[in-house]
Structure 1
Amino acid sequence: MWFDSWYDLGRLLVVGPVAYVSLVLLLRISGKRTLAKLNAFDLVVTVALGSTLASVLLSSTVSITEGVLGMLLLVGLQYVVAWTQVRVPAVRRVVASEPTLLYRDGFLDNALRRQRVTRQEVLQAAREQSHSDLSDVAAVVLETDGSFSVLRAAPRLPATP
């Protein structure tokens, strides 16, 4: 349980840095989009890259070449899907969701139900962005990555005499 062999420890010390450097290089070459959490597909790619790295590090049945090829395949597929969704609206609709307006001059109950969000979660999002209540909030949007955007209402100007 605590120790199997010196070979396994040595393998980890050699494979670990190689796999790590390979992943960092792949991410730098592929650009910022690879790690962006813009939609569910991007999240899946990020988790899969982490899982692949862990498999290479901890499984002696997965060679460094297989691991790097797996990471390269994931990054390449993510690039192809991202490139395609920018150019083909039908692909964009399948891969990425649309932002949902949850609050504008009052809660939009149908949107809250569809997105399975409570009023308390909207209020929490407002508080996290320094709004003690919704009186100075114009709108709250559930973004495609699951985060909330709280849009401040335009300041009211005093009436001129």
Structure 2
Amino acid sequence: MDSILRAAGMYVALMLLFRVAGRRSLADLTTFDFVLLLIIGEATQQALLGDDFSFTNAMLVIATLIVLDVGLSLAKLNSKPLARLLDGHATLVVENGRFLHHRMRRARLTEADILESARDSQGIESIEQVKFAIVERNGKISIIPTE
């Protein structure tokens, strides 16, 4: 029972921490982000398993995490407020060639981040060529060029 409670607690804690960290943290990992994620993974593993490294305990923890994940996915299908709370929503950061700096700050994006995405996805060279740039729920930046 202890393993189930630890797994459920860790699941909720990590969901909250990564929600606070924002979508940008999960979109394009830098070397620093990757190292941090590895350390978080190791700390999580130690917290989940405690002193019991048995196969049975590991499978119990994994099953608990999967049940929680499937349960939350089903709950999000039936509750738009819950889905929005857990997954966020798309955020417009460029409109008609103009940066929306207040929204960019909330998303922790720079002009360079948006321009890089515009070059990568559309071959766009200047912000004037961007009709809309949207930070999607998964942290990726969608670029819609002007016509």
Fold-level similarity (TM above 0.5):
yes
Q: Return the alpha-carbon distance in structure 2 between the equivalents of residues 100 and 69 of structure 1.
A: 38
- 1:113 maps to what in 2? 105
- Higher RCO by CA contacts (8 Å cutoff, separation 6 or greater): 2
Q: Return the alpha-carbon distance in structure 2 between the equivalents of residues 127 and 97 of structure 1.
A: 26
| Structure 2 counterpart of 1:135, one-letter code | E
- 1:133 maps to what in 2? 126
Q: CA deviation at 1:123?
A: 1.0
When residues 87 and 51 of structure 1 are mapped into structure 2, their CA distance, relative to the original with a 3 A threshold, is farther
**Secondary structure of 1:135 counterpart:** helix
Matches within 5 A, 1:120-159: 120-129=112-121, 130-154=123-147
* TM-score normalised by the chain length of structure 2: 0.61
Q: CA deviation at 1:136?
A: 2.9
- Aligned-CA RMSD value: 2.9
Q: Return the alpha-carbon distance in structure 2 between the equivalents of residues 101 and 109 of structure 1.
A: 10
Q: Deviations 1:74-110 (Å, cap 9, x if unpaired)?
A: 1110111111011112211321111110001111122
Matches within 5 A, 1:29-108: 40=19, 61-105=52-96, 106-108=98-100
When residues 72 and 51 of structure 1 are mapped into structure 2, their CA distance, relative to the original with a 3 A threshold, is farther
* TM-score normalised by the chain length of structure 1: 0.56
Identify the structure with the greater helix proportion: 2
When residues 51 and 81 of structure 1 are mapped into structure 2, their CA distance, relative to the original with a 3 A threshold, is farther
| Aligned sequence identity (%) | 22
| Structure 1 counterpart of 2:141, one-letter code | F
**Secondary structure of 1:84 counterpart:** helix
Structure 1: gaps of 5 or more residues: 1-38, 155-161
**Secondary structure of 1:91 counterpart:** helix
Q: Which has the larger radius of gyration?
A: 1
| Structure 1 counterpart of 2:132, one-letter code | A
Q: Return the alpha-carbon distance in structure 2 between the equivalents of residues 84 and 108 of structure 1.
A: 33
Between the two proteins, the alignment pairs up a number of residues equal to 107
